[in-house]
Copies of this chain bind each other. A is one copy, B any other.
């Protein structure tokens, strides 16, 4: 069978912005694998009813099923260990440290991106999904998206969150060294998520081209034949 990656789609089928689905896309490109990219909505998960998954990404190939972006990394490393650019996760020591990068991206950095683009994100989401998505998040964060979405606060969180990343990327081109691997994809998922739904820069109204983080983002956008740079953005498609 052709491998299939089930992804969240937005108001237009070309809008695929989920940070977790992007991790899986990058992982597939890293291994040089092609997959059919099959759309799912928050409010219509019938395409993934065949499995126990509660959310996307879901990946299926001849070896079986993987139902979470990190499980997809593991699945690909297990079944295609040396394909393409090689291992994503690495050995147990490398994986233990990857767990810290993952916790950092998800527990410290992600909220900055969310506060940067929440209102644009709602507009990029499929109309059927908007109420479900927004009300669930507003309940979780204890405030309306009008308050939650605050560019100044968001950039403050991000500038602080970028500090140790910048400390590393001043000395090596990728978080994973000379070439990207799982750590880069885990972190970059949030960058591409924000970029697809919004034109607001995480760095400020004027970006500093000498900033190692800006340079890393450009390298990540260029990867795999510009896969992320060429992804359709909300601003490309009239509402």
Assembled-state Cα–Cα distance A91/B165 (Å): 20
Assembled-state Cα–Cα distance A181/B99 (Å): 15
> Nearest-CB distance from A182 to chain B (Å)?
9
- Please name all residues of chain B whose beta carbon is closer than 8 Å to the beta carbon of A174 when the two chains form the complex: 96
Assembled-state Cα–Cα distance A203/B93 (Å): 28
Assembled-state Cα–Cα distance A93/B101 (Å): 13
Instruction: Count residues of chain A with CB under 8 A from any CB of chain B.
Output: 32
Total copies of the chain = 2
* A165 with B100, Cβ < 8 A, contacts A87-B93, A91-B90, A176-B93 known: yes
A95 at the interface (CB under 8 A from B): yes
A46 at the interface (CB under 8 A from B): no
Assembled-state Cα–Cα distance A122/B167 (Å): 29
> Nearest-CB distance from A124 to chain B (Å)?
28
Assembled-state Cα–Cα distance A175/B102 (Å): 13
Assembled-state Cα–Cα distance A172/B92 (Å): 12
Nearest CB in chain B to that of A176: its residue: B96
* A171 with B97, Cβ < 8 A, contacts A107-B163, A164-B104, A164-B107 known: no
Nearest CB in chain B to that of A178: its residue: B92
Interface residues of A in 180-218 (CB under 8 A from B): 181, 183
Is the CB–CB distance between A93 and B94 below 8 Å? yes
Is the CB–CB distance between A103 and B164 below 8 Å? yes
A168 at the interface (CB under 8 A from B): yes
A29 at the interface (CB under 8 A from B): no
> Nearest-CB distance from A187 to chain B (Å)?
10
Interface residues of A in 89-127 (CB under 8 A from B): 90-101, 103-104, 106-108
A226 at the interface (CB under 8 A from B): no
A177 at the interface (CB under 8 A from B): yes
Is the CB–CB distance between B183 and A108 below 8 Å? no
Is the CB–CB distance between A96 and B163 below 8 Å? no
- Please name all residues of chain B whose beta carbon is closer than 8 Å to the beta carbon of A171 when the two chains form the complex: 99
Interface residues of A (CB under 8 A from B): 87, 90-101, 103-104, 106-108, 163-165, 167-168, 171-172, 174-178, 181, 183
**A-B contact sample (12 more), CB < 8 A, given A90-B93, A100-B100, A104-B104:** A91-B94, A92-B177, A93-B94, A96-B183, A97-B98, A99-B171, A100-B168, A103-B168, A107-B163, A107-B164, A108-B163, A108-B164
